[in-house]
Amino acid sequence: MQDRSSPSTLHDPHATETGPGGPVLTMKDVTLAFGPKIIQSHIDLSVRRGSIFAVMGGSGCGKSTLLKSMIGLLRPSCGTFMLDGEDYWAGNDRRRTELNHRFGVLFQNGALWSSMTLGENVALPLQMFTALDSASIRQMVSLKLALVGLLDAIDLMPSEISGGMRKRAGLARALALDPDILFFDEPSAGLDPITSARLDDLILNLRDGLGATIVIVSHELPSLFRIADDGIFLDAVSKRPIAHGSPKQLRDRCTDPQVHAFMNRQRNEKDSRP
């Protein structure tokens, strides 16, 4: 039986030499809790610039909670959260608001305003947080919608488009303020495999074309194997990370039986088919 007090680490979570870049987002010995209820503790991770980092684990282990803490919506009860070497919680609210402008977040359902067209949805953050004039905003909106292949849908309402298009529109809005770190919560949920693969292509383009750093919470193993460079596996029972590494590394080399079973579940399902 593996010692659960030390996670199965297929690399040093704070390594700086390997991969596309140095660490941009780092957590050291972080505990996440809601009041007295501890969700995860002893979280050590480092997300490298220009990489795709996956947060993995079974239902209810705390993946979304970890994502929440990475975008400043939940303060760790212990440990440090650093952004480019700066302690996120050491500064005042104003400084945190500045740092938050580096984040772009795509929520599960796209979270669009239903009473606004796609163009108006994407324009909203620009109107709220920049001093751009309306012509420049229109230009920026067109650019972002073109990036996700939705320029022709600029005047449509969210109710007039498909689920996959809503995700892409949510992504265009998340990109409005040119964030350099993007967070995706279950981007493929509810999408068919082809639409999901297209969204993966888009996510890879954001990494490779724009150099974005991306953190993704997902249960979709094919998608994770394809796009993620690195990651962390959270355990609901011990309430701590039990493995670090890319989804492929965890599938092929992790010795923890729970991680191995989880990461190989589709393979096993295929093997057991008549």
Ligand X SMILES: Nc1ncnc2c1ncn2[C@@H]1O[C@H](COP(=O)(O)OP(=O)(O)OP(=O)(O)O)[C@@H](O)[C@H]1O
Task: Give residues in contact with ligand X (CB under 6 A).
Answer: 34, 37, 39, 57, 59-65
Q: Based on CB atoms, which residue is closest to ligand X, 100 or 108?
A: 108
Shortest separation between residue 244's beta carbon and ligand X, angstroms = 17
Shortest separation between residue 64's beta carbon and ligand X, angstroms = 3
Q: How far apart are CA 84 and CA 183, in angstroms?
A: 16
Q: Based on CB atoms, which residue is closest to ligand X, 38 or 210?
A: 38
Q: Based on CB atoms, which residue is closest to ligand X, 23 or 76?
A: 76
Instruction: Enumerate residues 6+ apart whose C-beta is below 8 A from 230.
Output: 11, 19, 47, 48, 51, 52, 53, 54, 244, 245, 246
**Largest distance between two CA atoms of the chain:** 63
Q: Is 234 helix (H, G, I), strand (E, B) or coil?
A: strand
Shortest separation between residue 104's beta carbon and ligand X, angstroms = 19
Q: Based on CB atoms, which residue is closest to ligand X, 119 or 262?
A: 262
Shortest separation between residue 73's beta carbon and ligand X, angstroms = 10
